Structure 1
Amino acid sequence: MTRPPARLPDSPRISDLVTLGVLTTTVPAALIDAVLVATQRQSQRHRQLPAPLVVYYVMALALYAQASYGEVLRCLLEGVRWLRLGGLDALGATKSAITRARIRLGVTPVRELFQRVAHPIADPGTPGAWYRGRRLVSVDGTTIDLPDTPELEAQFGRPAASRGASSFPKLRLVGLIETGTHAMFAVAVGRYDTSEVRLTPRVLQHLQPNMLCLADRAFVGFELWRLAAATGADLLWRVRINHKLPCRQRLSDGSYLSRLYASPKQRRHDEGGQVVRVIDYRLEGIADAEPLYRLVTTLLDPAVAPATELAALYHERWECEGTFAEFKVSLPGQRLMLRSRRADLAEQELYGFLLVHLALCGS
């Protein structure tokens, strides 16, 4: 039996109007017009679905993730009328017309919009956003489910399963996240079979000297560490306990200085290593805690950053999991699966979700 399409209330809800207002504040119409011109995607003639309206429609797909394409358009136009943004000729546009308009728009303008508006948003008083004057950020990755189509499988890949293949294709996303606000201000998107480590250099370039970046042990390697440290940001990354980091100088708080090397050969010859401070600690009395935790950091002076503070601080990295839960469950209302069945439109839709999540983090 076919289910009836999801339908939202006929009259606009105040919450919808407020959310659309927040969205248009974060992504104002003037900025959309500028990006459309810069990417040569502005409407060349009068259309039922002009390009600026389609940009807002892509973002509205995240606000009304459980509604049909037509319902999303209707709810958007209610808000557009209230916000006096124009575009009311779009009422009654068919699903195929909406898809054609999204194809004309493409992914480039929406990606460019995200890159222009995405930035850390914590102010000096934001709880959990700072450590001794440094802005706390974390790098982590996740995967996003996609519809089961040959095009999406070819573009993004599909995980293996114990019996054959998994149910859905997936894409991989690595994000740089402000821990205190959950604002994801830089992302890298790739195939499912592309490792997080390979995608991470594209987000590390967004680190700044006033930041302290946290990362899990999966990310630590000489090249990533070198790239991240070169930005001027400080780093606090977990490493595996079998990572060879011999003590070169014991410090007053029990931590010690060592060096990271690009290869065992360079370690043997003491060539080209990077000085790091190593912090080992245990979580006594915590069920299921691992026997030993090991961190490395660029903060070499225990007077500036005591080992006990850094050990406690590292666990702020778990704010990434809360961010991905917001993005993949809370925002869409259930586990996120992008609805677009074309590869270009799936990526376009993803950036729409990222823009909406960023707007809500700052509201």
Structure 2
Amino acid sequence: MRAALEANGKASLRQRDLPAHVVVYYVIALGLYMQSSYREVLRCLLEGIQWLMGPSATMRVASKAGISQARTRPGWEVLRHLHDAVVRPIAGRDTKGAWFADWRLVSLDGSTLDVADEAGNEAAFGRPGASRGSSAFPQIRFVSLVENGTRVLFGSEMAPCATSEITLARPVLARLQPGMLCLADRHFFGYDMWNLARGNGADLLWRLRKNLRLEHDRRLPDGSCLSRIYPSERDRRHGANAVVVRVIDYRLEGIAGAEPIYRLMTT
């Protein structure tokens, strides 16, 4: 906590009722006790601190204005620093749904979150369009890696709602590690994105668009086959810069006329 404050130049230089490290704990507590008022959450937090420090310690619950001023001092950079240092996959070997063979299962996905209807949030994040004007709330768009067995979101990137998920996914993929099997939906697939993800040593299993051209180079015993992807049509014609991939396709059982669903896996 203190390291994150010092790294961002936000450590308290003088004694306050709400020093910077207490404010960061307070912001975390607000997310855990969303049903309680700001002052009630602070009161509970200070009671816990007083219990740790002993009965001689005196704690005073700040006014609403004091709380508001204290929350603006650390800034978002400290929380981002703390998040990136602490939030990571936590599944053990016995965690249900977290593993396939020796791979740790993670998924790449994105969504949006409504934020408070305030002028500052609207200026920073914007509002999505609606059938009549604009949305009732500003929105943040985010992309994360999700540990499948625990649903822990890590490596998250956030931006205004008009930002594309592909743009946000690029820095997120840097958090992949060897020993992970990353699942992703078809709109994330592209030659550059594929190479960026596999460059970190993780294995990939991504769904594809059905109109992607994939030559079947060699059929494997399990029914999948080897193929190649290229950065452009020109490279395809010249056989240049190819990346070998494994193609898995199957039809939805029991659904007449169902189209094949294609997935690519690293070889």
Which residue number in structure 2 is paired with residue 132 of structure 1?
Answer: 101
Q: Is the contact made by 1:178 and 1:184 (CA closer than 8 Å) also made in structure 2?
A: yes
Closer, same or farther in 2 for the Cα pair 1:56/1:290, shift >3 Å? farther
Mapped to 1, the partners of 2:54 and 2:240 lie a distance apart of 61
Closer, same or farther in 2 for the Cα pair 1:286/1:69, shift >3 Å? farther
Secondary structure of the 1:164 match is coil
Closer, same or farther in 2 for the Cα pair 1:282/1:40, shift >3 Å? same
Give the one of 258, 264, 267 matched to 1:296: 264
Give the gaps of 5 or more residues in structure 1: 1-31, 301-363
Q: Is the contact made by 2:230 and 2:236 (CA closer than 8 Å) also made in structure 1?
A: yes
Q: Is the contact made by 2:46 and 2:61 (CA closer than 8 Å) also made in structure 1?
A: no
Give the one of 67, 70, 83 matched to 1:98: 67
CA RMSD of aligned residues (A): 2.0
Which structure ranks higher in relative contact order (CA pairs < 8 Å, sequence separation ≥ 6)?
1
Mapped to 2, the partners of 1:160 and 1:75 lie a distance apart of 40
Which residue number in structure 1 is paired with residue 124 of structure 2?
Answer: 155
Give the one of 36, 49, 71 matched to 2:40: 71
Q: Which amino acid aligns with 1:297?
A: M
The question of 1:184 aligning with 2:182 is answered no
Q: Which amino acid aligns with 2:265?
A: T
Quote the offset at 1:108 in angstroms.
1.4
Q: Which amino acid aligns with 1:49?
A: L
Quote the offset at 1:83 in angstroms.
4.1
Mapped to 1, the partners of 2:203 and 2:114 lie a distance apart of 33
Which residue number in structure 1 is paired with residue 189 of structure 2?
Answer: 220
The question of 1:239 aligning with 2:232 is answered no
Which residue number in structure 1 is paired with residue 175 of structure 2?
Answer: 206
Any idea what the Cα deviations from partners look like across 1:204-244, whole Å, max 9, x if unmatched?
Answer: 11111111111111110111101001111100000111111
Q: Is the contact made by 1:35 and 1:113 (CA closer than 8 Å) also made in structure 2?
A: yes
Q: Is the contact made by 1:145 and 1:169 (CA closer than 8 Å) also made in structure 2?
A: yes
- The structure in which a higher percent of residues are helix is 1
75-84 or 90-99, larger mean C-alpha shift: 75-84
Mapped to 1, the partners of 2:83 and 2:255 lie a distance apart of 40
The question of 1:283 aligning with 2:252 is answered yes
Which residue number in structure 1 is paired with residue 24 of structure 2?
Answer: 55
Which residue number in structure 2 is paired with residue 263 of structure 1?
Answer: 232
Mapped to 2, the partners of 1:132 and 1:182 lie a distance apart of 19
TM-score (norm 1): 0.69
Q: Which amino acid aligns with 1:72?
A: V
Secondary structure of the 1:65 match is coil
Quote the offset at 1:89 in angstroms.
5.2
Mapped to 2, the partners of 1:151 and 1:163 lie a distance apart of 23
Quote the offset at 1:256 in angstroms.
1.1
Mapped to 1, the partners of 2:230 and 2:31 lie a distance apart of 44
Closer, same or farther in 2 for the Cα pair 1:89/1:144, shift >3 Å? farther
Which residue number in structure 1 is paired with residue 133 of structure 2?
Answer: 164
Any idea what the Cα deviations from partners look like across 1:315-338, whole Å, max 9, x if unmatched?
Answer: xxxxxxxxxxxxxxxxxxxxxxxx
Closer, same or farther in 2 for the Cα pair 1:89/1:54, shift >3 Å? farther
- The structure in which a higher percent of residues are strand is 2
- How many corresponding residue pairs? 266
Give the gaps of 5 or more residues in structure 2: none
Q: Which amino acid aligns with 2:193?
A: L
Q: Is the contact made by 1:49 and 1:89 (CA closer than 8 Å) also made in structure 2?
A: no
